[in-house]
């Protein structure tokens, strides 16, 4: 088994809890029955509660990774008569732009940097936009946008507000009602700390009303909704991950609810950021989520070399960036089963790596 004895600080897969891992070793049960329907309903209700979804909201469970949820949300909700404002602050925003282009959805590639979009009103004075599409946390750079400010803007301009929350759910606050969010996209292998392979699209009643007939079987949301009424899915679900999701939602509840999980992530992230202050590493953006810390070397070292050295010499996995940012920045996840003690493994490795004694 690869990397079994490594400490993992990558933003997906993330460190999982023993309780959830154990379920992965169970025989996958047959699922076309009411017992599994109850599991689906419990997952749906748990997720709706977690994001404070408006009454009448529904969850689409896709056996697929997050990009499929992003793409299918666009396919089911937008069409040629739309004009989507797509926030593009990095690799995942750029993916939403690609998705709109691929499906011939009229859109504006809204390139942003150095802002959390609290000022979206002045940056993108709306004239004809019908939808706002955004990755709440642009994972490629560790940049969190202001969901409330964007929600006010979308609401005022009667735009459908689609939020990819894949890499900030459970670690950073998201409230569909407070932020007027119509669609939330989630994935299994980030804050939910499950194996990859399940993605979810949470639809408000407003979004459900907008669903259109599309030329797709696998991504046909109307079909998922009609099967979902009896807790089933049109095609074989990711049964094992659904069982793990059910247990994980219960675990989050037992631990004090999602606010407690968010507080814990915030606490761990702050601890990490404070603990490495003496090192030649700079926070890459002032808008970092609790989910992740992005660090830029200030001593001329290559970020990619640091990632490789941590892996090779300390058995610690952090996440490199690609392309132009390859040498500029690397990423440290605080998602999943994170504690200060576990984070100490990375903090100590970094201090040792730089030959700097850790402050008491």
Query: Are residues 228 and 44 in contact, defined by beta-carbon separation less than 8 angstroms?
Result: yes
- Residue among 95, 173, 178 at smallest CA distance from 133: 95
For the chain, the first-to-last Cα distance in angstroms comes to 37
Q: Give the number of residues in contact with its own copies, rule: CB under 8 A.
A: 62
Burial code (b: 16+ CB inside 10 Å, e: under 16) for 45-68 equals ebbbebbbbeeebbbbbbbbbbbb
Residues 244-283 within binding reach of its own copies (CB under 8 A): none
Quick one: which segment of 30-38, 110-118, 141-149, 152-160 binds its own copies (CB under 8 A)?
A: 30-38
> What distance in Å separates the CA atoms of residue 61 and residue 94, rounded to the nearest whole number?
24
| Per-residue contact flags (x/-) with its own copies for residues 52 to 81, judged by CB under 8 A | -----------xxxxxx--xx---------
* 1 binds its own copies, rule: CB under 8 A: yes
* 28 binds its own copies, rule: CB under 8 A: yes
Residues 74-113 within binding reach of its own copies (CB under 8 A): 95, 98-99, 102-104
Q: SS3 for 269? A: helix
Query: Nearest 5°: phi and psi at 334?
Result: -115, 15
Residues 185-214 within binding reach of its own copies (CB under 8 A): 187, 189, 195-198
> What distance in Å separates the CA atoms of residue 92 and residue 164, rounded to the nearest whole number?
9
Q: What is the DSSP letter of 68?
A: H
* 151 binds its own copies, rule: CB under 8 A: no
Residue from 130, 146, 240, 343 touching its own copies (CB under 8 A): that is 240
Q: Which residues bind its own copies (CB under 8 A)?
A: 1-4, 6, 8, 10, 12-13, 15-16, 21-32, 35-36, 39, 63-68, 71-72, 95, 98-99, 102-104, 187, 189, 195-198, 215-218, 234-241, 243, 317, 319-320
């Amino acid at each position: 088994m690869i990397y079994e004895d490594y400490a993992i600080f990558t933003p997906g897969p993330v460190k999982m809890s023993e309780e959830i891992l154990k379920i992965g070793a169970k025989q996958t049960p047959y699922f076309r029955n009411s017992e599994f329907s109850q599991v689906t309903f419990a997952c749906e209700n748990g997720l709706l509660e977690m994001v404070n979804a408006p009454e009448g909201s529904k969850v689409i469970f896709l056996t697929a990774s997050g990009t499929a949820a992003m793409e299918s949300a666009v396919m089911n909700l937008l069409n040629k008569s739309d004009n989507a404002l797509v926030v593009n602050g990095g690799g995942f925003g750029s993916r939403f732009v690609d998705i709109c282009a691929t499906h011939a959805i009229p859109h504006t590639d809204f390139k942003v940097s150095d802002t959390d979009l609290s000022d979206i009103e002045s940056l993108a004075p709306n004239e004809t936009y019908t939808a706002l599409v955004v990755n709440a946390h642009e994972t490629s750079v560790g940049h969190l946008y202001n969901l409330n400010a964007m929600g006010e803007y979308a609401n005022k301009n009667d735009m459908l507000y689609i939020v990819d929350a894949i890499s900030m759910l459970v670690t950073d606050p998201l409230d569909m009602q407070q932020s007027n969010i119509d669609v939330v996209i989630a994935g299994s292998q980030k804050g939910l700390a499950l194996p990859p392979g399940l993605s979810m699209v949470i639809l408000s009643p407003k979004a459900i009303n907008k669903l259109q007939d599309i030329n797709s079987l696998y991504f046909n949301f109307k079909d998922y909704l009609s099967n979902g009424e009896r807790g089933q899915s049109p095609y074989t679900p990711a049964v094992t991950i659904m069982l793990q999701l059910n247990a994980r939602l219960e675990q989050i509840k037992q631990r004090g609810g999602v606010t407690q999980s968010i507080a814990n992530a915030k606490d761990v992230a702050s601890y990490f950021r404070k603990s490495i202050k003496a090192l030649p590493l700079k926070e890459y953006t002032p808008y970092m989520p609790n989910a992740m810390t992005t660090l830029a070397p200030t001593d001329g070292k290559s970020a990619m070399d640091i990632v490789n050295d941590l892996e090779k010499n300390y058995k610690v996995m952090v996440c490199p960036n690609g392309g132009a940012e390859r040498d500029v920045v690397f990423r440290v996840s605080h998602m999943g089963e994170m504690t200060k003690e576990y984070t100490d493994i990375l903090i100590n490795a970094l201090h040792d790596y730089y030959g700097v004694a850790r402050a008491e």
